[in-house]
């Protein structure tokens, strides 16, 4: 059994608040191997904060604490911003929801991809350009030469996400964290983008951490799913076995979703049990 | 109740005009709930805005409650049709309390018993007096959407337009809002026209569903037919397939795109 | 921050469930105040401005009004002493009293300009942004015309035409100061124009006037006020500049700029005559700047 790519044990992220500390993430533990792991939760569940903590993007005044937070053999706890910057892109990459906000609007997309290559692999401009074009082809863009010269505002949502994936994977990171990567996309485009991520992640033996609020999408795409609520992981489900979930929160969430084939007069509303907020550990 | 006949809606004029909706014909009977589903660029939200009188339409005829309407509406015409917007954060004035937000339509239409109407509107959407004087940033997303619904209903409209009312909400909150909308529709005999990209949400609330793509209605079907996959148009089939989640075995999936 | 003790005014203000319009409004402003209070520099600016206002209001209690014009030529150009905390000027007048009473003139000019430029700016910028089209073009070209005038030169021209004096100085400053406010109001309106809550108001049948007045103006005011406080420094300096050139307030009025001007001749030996009023101008301008920065930061933090 190969060692996991990412090990997280008892990760906690705390923010100081007006009425005491806010614990956005509480004692979250999981490992990520060469697989697709999904983290699902509603707003405020702490799923995005977890992803950010791993990337070192939890800024002051947030505080991170963990018994173990390792990327391979690199300890991420207490790593400086300088240290994280060397890792980001090269060993760990992140794709966010809207490429409009992640791409520099005054540079062509091709140049940005090439720049990532040059930064992390210290290549010369010609090699970087070639690598960027290859990467654009890898995300199934048929006319990479043309797209290379386009600016972010000229590319549609789906293509923008492909560009982001290309940019994030070009330096060959070990894991990819995708935070709501398809939420802003049309439904037909969503499946395409996920398929591309799937293909690349499998082909490169990477691990993928998919963070989303969309239960069905995550459970149909990922190998395992973590369900988060109020900063904690309440349940872990295997792929496609979401219907057999045990925790009342997960079951309640599933029941509250309208289903195409199953019309009900009233959707059963989620009854929040205060005991779900209690510390599990 | 709502009748669109060969309606064309365009942005801009002259040679640079972009036609968003082409020759749309659609009818919604009184008390019926019809959904419009489609992806971005399909024109579904544009149709809603034209019916609401927020944008003009280039040709055709829009009839509401038997009367032909244009972009400019009289106060009486405004009273009949109200809308709930997608973004609960953007549809409420950030510097006004819930009370002020609900008092505005009362003042515009000079309705009597304003105080009683505001209290009743809040109660109907499940909010209490403790919410009345809060600002939008002191409310949760679901509560804001309830305020938006209360605002829409305080004028006692007969037509309620819904523009992706639950897209920005969490799953658990979405269920509450959908239940609320279903109940209000029953209680007030409202005619609903709802727009969404989520097939399951539309099928839950609406009986008939229009599928739009690139400004055209490609099919008008029913929720039952969709559930049984008895649809006629290829695009509808594609929507249904994507809606079912990620299909691992999608070997026939074409992933290529070009910049054109 | 300490939690609110129930039953106190603080609890009433911070209540999460206000029971009336008044309580909601007060609570809103109180929270904004708490936010503002965290900024030390901004509080310094506020302190300075409050000091200026107090000084102007209570001037007769702080200094002797007669001393502002009492010329004791035997005592001219005296350095600081118990009798004259800031010394005397070239005509033997007490500089301290003149500075204190000069604050009234400064405040008057600043207030009069503010009262003119804000309404004019809003009246022109709001319709331009809301209606667009021809209305926008016409109003903005008018704005451009006024924007093209250099402030001091226009003030000089006005003074030459109408004669010197505070009122004319105020008009001259106001005439060139309003265009940025019109632009600001227009920009804010354009930003909000397509907001959904504006569309909702249209949907309800609100007239353009009602929408502008009840929905858009409250959103424009914060940035306009911030701009105004930041502009205050410039207005004070312009007024001082006019005073320095002999326009604006006329002798023997203790206008700070005029005091700096008349102290020029003796700057090297009796430095206090020009420097003290200059310092007053500097401190007040700084105060307004810090206040304006603080207001803007407070506004940004909340949005």
- For residue C204, give the nearest of B93, B104, B134 by CB distance: B104
C133 touches chain B (CB under 8 A): no
For residues B162 and B192, the answer to whether their CB atoms sit within 8 Å is: yes
Residue with tokens 């809308």: B83
- For residue B78, give the nearest of C195, C196, C204 by CB distance: C204
In the prediction, which pLDDT does C270 show?
A: 85
Query: How many whole angstroms separate alpha carbon B210 and alpha carbon B226?
Result: 11
Contacts of B107 (CB under 8 A, 6+ apart): B114
For residues C284 and C56, the answer to whether their CB atoms sit within 8 Å is: no
Cβ distance C24 to B148 less than 8 Å, yes or no, reads no
Reported as a pLDDT band with limits 50, 70 and 90, residue C31 is: confident
In the prediction, which pLDDT does B191 show?
A: 93
* pLDDT tens-digit readout, C192-228: 888 889 999 999 988 888 998 888 988 888 888 888 8
Nearest chain A residue to B142 by CA distance is A43
Residues of chain B with C-beta less than 8 angstroms from the C-beta of A161: none
Q: Kindly list the distances between the CA atom of residue A6 and the CA atoms of A57, A188, B154, in Å, as whole numbers in the listed order.
A: 17, 31, 54
Nearest chain A residue to B235 by CA distance is A188
Helix, strand, coil share (%) of chain B residues, nearest 5: 40, 25, 35
Is pLDDT of C249 > 80? no
Residue B31, Cβ density class (10 Å: 0-12 exposed, 13-18 middle, ≥19 buried): middle
In the prediction, which pLDDT does C302 show?
A: 52
- Taking the CA of residue A253 and the nearest CA in chain B, the distance in Å comes to 6
Q: Which of B70-84, C39-53, C126-140, C247-261 has the lowest mean pLDDT?
A: C247-261
Mean pLDDT of B166-170: 88
- Spell out the domains of chain B, with CATH numbers in brackets: 2-243 (3.40.50.300)
| pLDDT higher at B33 or C11 | B33
Is pLDDT of B250 > 70? no
C200 touches chain B (CB under 8 A): yes
In the prediction, which pLDDT does A214 show?
A: 87
Is pLDDT of C1 > 50? no
Residues of chain A with C-beta less than 8 angstroms from the C-beta of B248: 220-221
B75 touches chain C (CB under 8 A): yes
Is pLDDT of C3 > 70? no
In the prediction, which pLDDT does C153 show?
A: 82
pLDDT > 90: percent of chain B: 40
CA-based nearest residue to A210, from A239, A231, A250? A239
Query: How many whole angstroms separate alpha carbon B235 and alpha carbon B41?
Result: 14
Residues of chain A with C-beta less than 8 angstroms from the C-beta of C14: none
Query: How many whole angstroms separate alpha carbon C106 and alpha carbon C280?
Result: 10
Is pLDDT of C4 > 60? no
Mean pLDDT of C30-44: 85
Contacts of A26-29 with CB under 8 Å at 24 or more apart are: A26/A230, A26/A231, A26/A232, A26/A279, A26/A281, A27/A232, A27/A279, A27/A280, A27/A281, A28/A228, A28/A231, A28/A232, A28/A233, A29/A233
Reported as a pLDDT band with limits 50, 70 and 90, residue B249 is: low
The ranges of chain A with pLDDT < 70 are 1-2, 281
Reported as a pLDDT band with limits 50, 70 and 90, residue C271 is: confident
A61 touches chain C (CB under 8 A): no
- Taking the CA of residue A219 and the nearest CA in chain B, the distance in Å comes to 8
Reported as a pLDDT band with limits 50, 70 and 90, residue B253 is: low
Mean pLDDT of C36-43: 86
- Spell out the domains of chain C, with CATH numbers in brackets: 44-302 (1.10.3720.10)
Interior angle at CA B65, CA B26 and CA B215, nearest 5: 25
- Taking the CA of residue C297 and the nearest CA in chain B, the distance in Å comes to 18
Query: Mean pLDDT over all residues of chain B?
Result: 88
Choose from A16, A17, A18 for mutation: most chain C CBs within 10 A. Answer: A18
Query: Mean pLDDT over all residues of chain C?
Result: 84
Interface of B with C in 102-121 (CB under 8 A): 104-105, 108-109
Interface of B with C in 143-162 (CB under 8 A): 148, 151, 155
* pLDDT tens-digit readout, C84-109: 888 888 888 888 888 998 888 888 88
Reported as a pLDDT band with limits 50, 70 and 90, residue B51 is: very high
Residues of chain B with C-beta less than 8 angstroms from the C-beta of A195: 246, 250, 253, 255
- For residue A186, give the nearest of B39, B228, B240 by CB distance: B39
- For residue B178, give the nearest of A199, A221, A258 by CB distance: A258
- Taking the CA of residue A105 and the nearest CA in chain C, the distance in Å comes to 20
Is pLDDT of C54 > 50? yes
- Taking the CA of residue C3 and the nearest CA in chain A, the distance in Å comes to 7
Cβ distance C21 to B97 less than 8 Å, yes or no, reads yes
Q: Which chains touch B (3 or more CB pairs under 8 A)?
A: A, C
Cβ distance B108 to C20 less than 8 Å, yes or no, reads no
Reported as a pLDDT band with limits 50, 70 and 90, residue C126 is: very high
What DSSP designation does B162 have?
A: E
In the prediction, which pLDDT does C301 show?
A: 53
- Taking the CA of residue B108 and the nearest CA in chain A, the distance in Å comes to 35
Residues of chain A with C-beta less than 8 angstroms from the C-beta of B223: 260, 263
Reported as a pLDDT band with limits 50, 70 and 90, residue C62 is: confident
Cβ distance B259 to A159 less than 8 Å, yes or no, reads yes
pLDDT > 70: percent of chain B: 97
Query: How many whole angstroms separate alpha carbon C153 and alpha carbon C242?
Result: 10
Q: Which of B170-179, B233-242, C146-155, C277-286 has the lowest mean pLDDT?
A: C146-155
Choose from A16, A17, A19, A21 for mutation: most chain C CBs within 10 A. Answer: A19
- For residue B175, give the nearest of A43, A195, A267 by CB distance: A267
Query: Mean pLDDT over all residues of chain A?
Result: 88
- For residue C203, give the nearest of B82, B87, B133 by CB distance: B82
Query: How many whole angstroms separate alpha carbon A161 and alpha carbon A136?
Result: 11
**B124-144 burial string, b = 16+ CB within 10 Å, else e?**
bbbbeeebbbbbbebbebbbb
Mean pLDDT of B203-217: 91
- Taking the CA of residue A17 and the nearest CA in chain C, the distance in Å comes to 9
Q: Where are the beta strands (DSSP E) in A123-203?
A: 175-179
Is pLDDT of C5 > 70? no
Is pLDDT of C303 > 60? no
Mean pLDDT of C171-197: 89
**C75-98 burial string, b = 16+ CB within 10 Å, else e?**
bbbbeeeeebebbbbebbbbbbbb
**B223-242 burial string, b = 16+ CB within 10 Å, else e?**
bebbbeeebeeebbeebbbb
- Taking the CA of residue C293 and the nearest CA in chain B, the distance in Å comes to 21
A279 touches chain C (CB under 8 A): no
Residues of chain B with C-beta less than 8 angstroms from the C-beta of C204: 78, 82, 104-105, 108-109, 151, 155
């Amino acid at each position: 059994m190969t060692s996991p790519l990412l090990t997280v044990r008892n990760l906690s992220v705390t923010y100081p608040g007006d009425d005491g500390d806010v614990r956005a993430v509480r004692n979250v533990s999981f490992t990520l191997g060469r697989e697709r792991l999904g983290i699902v939760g509603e707003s405020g569940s702490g799923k995005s904060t977890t992803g950010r903590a791993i990337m070192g993007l939890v800024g002051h005044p947030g505080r991170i604490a963990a018994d173990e937070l390792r990327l391979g053999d690199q300890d991420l706890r207490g790593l400086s911003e300088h240290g994280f910057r060397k890792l980001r892109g090269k060993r760990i990459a992140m794709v966010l929801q809207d490429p409009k906000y992640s791409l520099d609007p005054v540079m062509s997309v091709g140049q940005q991809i090439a720049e990532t290559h040059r930064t992390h692999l210290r290549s010369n401009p010609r090699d970087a350009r070639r690598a960027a074009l290859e990467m654009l082809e890898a995300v199934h863009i048929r006319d990479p030469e043309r797209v290379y010269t386009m600016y972010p505002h000229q590319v549609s949502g789906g293509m923008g996400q492909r560009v982001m994936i290309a940019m994030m994977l070009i330096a060959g990171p070990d894991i990819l964290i995708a935070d709501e990567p398809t939420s802003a996309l049309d439904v037909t485009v969503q499946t395409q983008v996920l398929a591309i991520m799937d293909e690349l992640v499998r082909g490169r033996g990477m691990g993928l951490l998919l963070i989303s609020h969309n239960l069905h999408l995550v459970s149909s795409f990922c190998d395992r799913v973590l369900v988060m609520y109020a900063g904690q992981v309440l349940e872990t489900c295997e792929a496609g076995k979401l219907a057999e979930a045990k925790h009342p929160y997960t079951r309640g969430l599933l029941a509250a979703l309208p289903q195409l084939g199953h019309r009900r007069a009233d959707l059963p509303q989620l009854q929040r049990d205060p005991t779900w907020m209690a510390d599990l550990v | 109740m709502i009748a669109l006949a060969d309606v064309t809606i365009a942005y801009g004029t002259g040679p640079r005009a972009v036609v968003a909706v082409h020759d749309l014909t659609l009818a919604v009977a009184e008390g019926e709930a019809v959904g419009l589903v489609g992806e971005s660029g399909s024109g579904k939200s544009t149709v809603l805005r034209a019916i609401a009188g927020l944008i003009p339409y280039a040709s055709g005829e829009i009839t509401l409650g038997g009367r032909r309407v244009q972009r400019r509406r009289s106060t009486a015409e405004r009273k009949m049709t109200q809308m709930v917007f997608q973004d609960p954060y953007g549809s409420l004035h950030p510097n006004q309390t819930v009370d002020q937000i609900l008092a505005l339509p009362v003042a515009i239409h000079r309705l009597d018993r304003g105080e009683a109407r505001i209290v009743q509107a809040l109660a109907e959407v499940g909010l209490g007096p403790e919410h009345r004087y809060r600002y939008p940033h002191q409310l949760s997303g679901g509560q804001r959407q309830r305020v938006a619904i209360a605002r829409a209903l305080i004028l006692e409209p007969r037509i309620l337009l819904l523009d992706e009312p639950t897209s920005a909400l969490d799953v658990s909150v979405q269920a509450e809002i959908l239940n609320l909308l279903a109940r209000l529709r029953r209680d007030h005999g409202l005619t609903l026209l709802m727009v969404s990209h989520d097939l399951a949400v539309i099928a839950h609330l609406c009986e008939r569903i229009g599928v739009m793509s690139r400004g055209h209605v490609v099919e008008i079907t029913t929720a039952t037919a969709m559930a049984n996959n008895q649809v006629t148009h290829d695009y509808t089939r594609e929507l249904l397939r994507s809606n079912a989640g990620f299909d691992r075995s999608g070997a026939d999936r074409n992933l290529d795109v070009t910049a054109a | 921050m300490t939690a609110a003790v129930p039953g106190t005014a603080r609890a009433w203000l911070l209540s999460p469930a206000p029971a009336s319009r008044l309580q909601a409004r007060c609570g809103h402003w109180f929270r904004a105040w708490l936010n503002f209070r965290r900024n030390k520099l901004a509080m310094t600016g506020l302190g300075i401005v409050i000091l200026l206002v107090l000084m102007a209001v209570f001037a007769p209690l702080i200094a002797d009004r007669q001393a502002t014009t009492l010329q004791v030529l035997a005592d001219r150009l005296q350095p600081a002493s118990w009798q004259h905390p800031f010394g005397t000027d070239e005509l033997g007048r007490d500089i301290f009293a003149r500075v204190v009473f000069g604050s009234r003139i400064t405040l008057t000019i600043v207030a009069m300009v503010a009262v003119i430029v804000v309404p004019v700016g809003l009246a022109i910028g709001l319709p331009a942004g809301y209606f667009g089209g021809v209305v926008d073009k016409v109003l903005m070209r008018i704005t451009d015309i006024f924007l093209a005038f250099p402030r001091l030169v226009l003030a000089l021209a006005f003074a030459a035409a109408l004669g010197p004096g505070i009122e004319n100085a105020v008009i001259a400053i106001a005439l060139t100061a309003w265009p940025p406010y019109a632009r600001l109001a227009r920009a804010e309106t354009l930003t909000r124009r397509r907001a959904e809550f504006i569309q909702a108001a249209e949907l309800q049948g609100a007239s353009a006037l009602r929408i502008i007045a009840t929905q858009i103006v409250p959103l424009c005011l914060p940035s306009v006020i911030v701009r105004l406080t930041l502009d205050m420094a410039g207005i004070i300096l312009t007024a001082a500049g006019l005073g320095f050139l002999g326009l604006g307030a006329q002798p023997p009025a203790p206008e700070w700029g005029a005091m700096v001007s008349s102290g020029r001749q003796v700057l090297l030996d009796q430095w206090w005559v020009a420097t003290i009023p200059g310092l007053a101008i500097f401190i007040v301008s700084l105060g307004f700047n810090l206040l304006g920065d603080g207001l803007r930061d407070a506004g940004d933090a909340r949005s």
